[in-house]
């Protein structure tokens, strides 16, 4: 892989020191045991939020929790098991959180994958689409009543500028192993993140103090980026940002007072807390509605088989 230049802008619109005190706030971060998820998690904890790390690996998740407790001296940090490959696991995770009878002010759907070869989730859904979109869709829907009851609150969906690289979602070909290449599978899942965010605002959040936005964190030089099967990321950007910088835009959407002050809803942000241009396909409300109905039907079908 070619050497990677790390972006070091002279001035950032948002930085960690602009995160307000979050005492009394409860937050969830998916995929928080490494990369930008871990940085997001630790910075929320540093500002006194009660934070739940949701992840697949119990061992890694609990290790991350103990590390963050030690570094931040915030003991209101916890791990909940979440396997986004399994809709049953997503449902159980949401139920486990709701059983705690806590508010939920911040939901950050951060976890994401890409695979070298075509693969399926435990429910038989193309893995990138299933993990990056369908799992987070179900988690958000299950937690939404609690999020509304806790308003003002935020929903943050980590997408990617890769969503610009596709001209829609090929619903009929999602599970065809010969129909799509790696970048197309990943890019469609990231387009789904943006479409879901926008339709969520239209369908469920009108008149609510719930602010749902999506973002591109930058190309992050983490394990996913370094893996051979994601070397194609070099085609997306010729430079990258560190995990610390990559978390800034997520934390901007999750915590910045500007989100509420400027009534940012259904916006798409790029590093570092700057509003960016979405793909023109995200403006297709019929596509967004079709994705929503497709996803709901898919979830109902798969869960009914359990």
Place of tokens 């400027």: 262
* Catalytic pick among 38, 186, 211, 252: 186
Integer CA distances (angstroms), 120 to 30, 69, 130, 131, 278, in order: 20, 35, 8, 10, 28
Sort 73 into a burial class: Cβ within 10 Å, 0-12 / 13-18 / 19+: exposed
Radius of gyration of the chain (CA): 18
* Separation CA 240–CA 219 (nearest Å): 5
Integer CA distances (angstroms), 81 to 29, 40, 66, 303, in order: 12, 18, 15, 19
Nearest to 33 by CA among 21, 41, 45: 41
190 is catalytic: yes
Cα-based torsion angle of the residue sequence 268, 115, 293, 137 in order, rounded to the nearest 10 degrees:
-60
* Separation CA 157–CA 97 (nearest Å): 19
186 is catalytic: yes
Axis crossing angle, helix 87-98 with helix 285-304, rounded to the nearest 10: 90
* Cβ proximity of 286 and 221 under 8 Å: no
Write 143-146 long-range contacts (CB < 8 A, 24+): 143/28, 143/94, 143/97, 143/98, 143/104, 143/107, 144/204, 146/98, 146/103, 146/104
Tally the residues of the chain: 306
* Catalytic pick among 190, 268, 278, 302: 190
* Separation CA 304–CA 301 (nearest Å): 5
Active site residue ranges: 186, 190
């Amino acid at each position: 892989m070619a050497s990677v230049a790390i972006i070091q802008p002279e001035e950032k619109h948002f930085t960690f020191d602009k995160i307000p005190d979050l005492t009394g706030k409860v937050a969830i971060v998916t995929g928080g045991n490494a990369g930008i998820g871990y940085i997001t998690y630790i910075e929320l904890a540093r500002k006194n939020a009660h934070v739940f790390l949701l992840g697949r690996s119990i061992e890694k998740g609990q290790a991350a929790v103990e590390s963050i407790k030690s570094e931040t001296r915030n003991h209101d940090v916890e791990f909940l098991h979440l396997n986004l490959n399994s809709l049953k696991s997503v449902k159980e995770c949401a139920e486990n959180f709701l059983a705690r009878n806590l508010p939920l002010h911040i939901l950050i759907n951060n976890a994401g994958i890409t695979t070298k070869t075509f693969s399926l989730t435990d429910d038989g859904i193309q893995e990138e689409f299933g993990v990056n979109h369908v799992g987070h869709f179900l988690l958000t829907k299950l937690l939404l009543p609690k999020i509304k009851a806790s308003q003002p609150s935020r929903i943050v969906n980590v997408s990617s500028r890769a969503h610009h690289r596709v001209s829609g979602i090929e619903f009929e070909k999602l599970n065809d192993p010969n129909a799509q290449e790696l970048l197309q599978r990943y890019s469609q899942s990231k387009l789904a993140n943006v479409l879901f965010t926008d339709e969520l605002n239209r369908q469920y959040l009108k008149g609510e103090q719930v602010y749902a936005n999506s973002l591109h964190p930058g190309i992050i030089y983490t394990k996913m980026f370094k893996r051979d099967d994601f070397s194609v990321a070099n085609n997306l950007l010729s430079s990258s940002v560190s995990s610390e910088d990559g978390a800034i835009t997520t934390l901007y959407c999750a915590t910045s007072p500007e989100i509420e002050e400027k009534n940012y809803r259904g916006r798409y942000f790029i590093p570092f807390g700057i509003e960016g241009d979405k793909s023109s396909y995200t403006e297709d409300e019929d596509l967004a509605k079709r994705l929503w109905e497709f996803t709901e039907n898919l979830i109902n079908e798969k869960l009914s088989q359990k």
